[in-house]
Amino acid sequence: MPVTRKQTTQIVSYTVSFLVSLLVAVTTPIVPILAMVFNASQFELGLIVGSASLVYVPTTLFAGNLSDMFGRKRVIELSLILYSIALLTYYFSSSWYFLLFGKLLEGFSLAMLWSPIEALISNTSEDQTKANSIFGISWSLGSVLGSFISWFFLDFLGKKLAFLTNFFTVILCLSLFFLFSEDESRVEKTPQTINFKLNVFQELNLIVPSFMYSFTQGVVTSFYPAFVNLLTLSNKLIIVSFTIMMLTRTFTFYLLGKLDKTINKKIGNIFCLSILLLPFGANTLYVAVVSSLLGFGLGILYYSGLKEALNKDSLNKGKFTGLFEGTIGMGYLVSSFLGGIVAEINISYPYLLSFLVSIIAMLI
């Protein structure tokens, strides 16, 4: 049976989500460490990492509605162009101010990417549960591989070479999407017919797990590399933590694709309570076990929020994937800024903060 254009679009979308997640995972531990090379303080570190979320949150809602009006493909292609510029900014950086600008641009570009690509995959798929599972596996597997690859750039190839390599990979993604994808069939809409209104209280099943997913993960990705560096521990612990956490998260997406009806958001939060243990062990096996527990929790929370977002009307789906991604951005934003503040008092306090927020989320 020949591959249809719709199927080709799905394959390209999964491929791009895999590659972009891989690139983000490669640079995630490099940017905080490079900021410290440029003598950034803990608060400035939180500002750099959190700045991406500062623009990510409002942009996702805008991008989702924009893709509802004018199509997903154009918005995705624009996002990839902007992301390539952000990578060049990192490559030519000479102070933490350049890293800050790069993070702002990265946050804007990724906000323009994720909600349209989620809606595109959903609306070109005949099996929603399968599409959700494959999408989660594709980008999460990219994160796993990217976390492992980042080790080579940190210890062998050089930090800035990662940004240049990523730049050319984004150009490849842009080429794939431009040549081989198309928008799903859609009814022509005007800005006047788009329903921009959202009732936040009616969407708590979407908002709470999405926020907790990114808040928990944000604490780990923003502050654990600096924590290891400040205590002069091995960079291997960073790679072990990120790789195991994301590998377990990927496996959780696979399981939930088979056991969709058994999702329990509170169980996800219970697993995430293990973050409190992360800063109290320098043993590789210890870090791997704690990170695997976090991965299970993160997988459950993300899948729960995404399922709620995609279970909406197809023509307005961008609005809800925008809300989903915006909530994720808010979690990263709050974790970065609050984490940076409490880390100035004690470098282990961000993990205690995440533990307390998880308890509160379980009560909602």
Closest CA to 310 of 132, 188, 72: 132
Highest mean pLDDT among 42-46, 267-271, 289-293: 289-293
Predicted confidence (pLDDT) per residue in 272-282, tens digit: 898 888 888 77
3-state secondary structure of 258: helix
**Residue 227 pLDDT grade (very low, low, confident, very high; cuts 50, 70, 90):** confident
Instruction: Give me the residue spans of the domains in the chain.
Output: 5-183+200-363
Residues 6+ apart with CB under 8 A from 255: 299
Mean pLDDT comparison of 44-58, 145-159, 259-273, 340-354, highest-scoring range: 340-354
Counting residues of the chain whose pLDDT is more than 70, the rounded percentage is 83
Average pLDDT rounded to a whole number, residues 124-147: 78
- Asked if residue 197 has pLDDT above 70, the reply is no
Nearest residue to 211 via CA among 304, 319, 75, 314: 304
Least confident piece of the model among 57-66, 133-142, 293-302: 57-66
The dihedral sign for the CA sequence 345, 349, 354, 358: negative
The per-residue b/e assignment along 53-77, b for 16 or more CB within 10 angstroms, e otherwise, is: bbbbbebbbebbbbbbbebbbebbb
- pLDDT of 246 strictly over 70: yes
Supply the pLDDT for residue 9: 81
Give yes or no for residue 67 having a pLDDT over 80: no
Q: What is the pTM of this model?
A: 0.72
Per-residue confidence (pLDDT) for residue 223, from 0 to 100: 80
As a whole number, mean pLDDT of residues 79-86 equals 91
Question: Using the 8-state DSSP alphabet, how is residue 317 labeled?
Answer: H
Position 256 pLDDT exceeds 60: yes
Q: What is the pLDDT of residues 161-179, one digit of tens each?
A: 788 888 888 898 888 887 7
Cα–Cα distances in angstroms (integers) from residue 153 to residues 33, 84, 90, 137, 144, in the given order: 12, 19, 14, 24, 15
Residues in CB range of 37: below 8 A, 6 or more apart: none
| CATH H-level, domain 5-183+200-363: superfamily | MFS general substrate transporter like domains (1.20.1250.20)
Residue 272 in tokens: 């995430």
Local confidence band at 193 (pLDDT 50, 70, 90 cut-offs): very low
C-alpha distance from residue 361 to each of 96, 112, 201 (Å): 34, 28, 14
Q: Are 290 and 216 in contact (CB under 8 A)?
A: no
Q: Is 168 exposed, middle or buried (0-12, 13-18, 19+ CB in 10 A)?
A: exposed
Q: Average pLDDT in the 24-44 region? A: 76
Residue 62 clears pLDDT 50, i.e. is over it: yes
Q: What is the pLDDT of residue 158?
A: 63
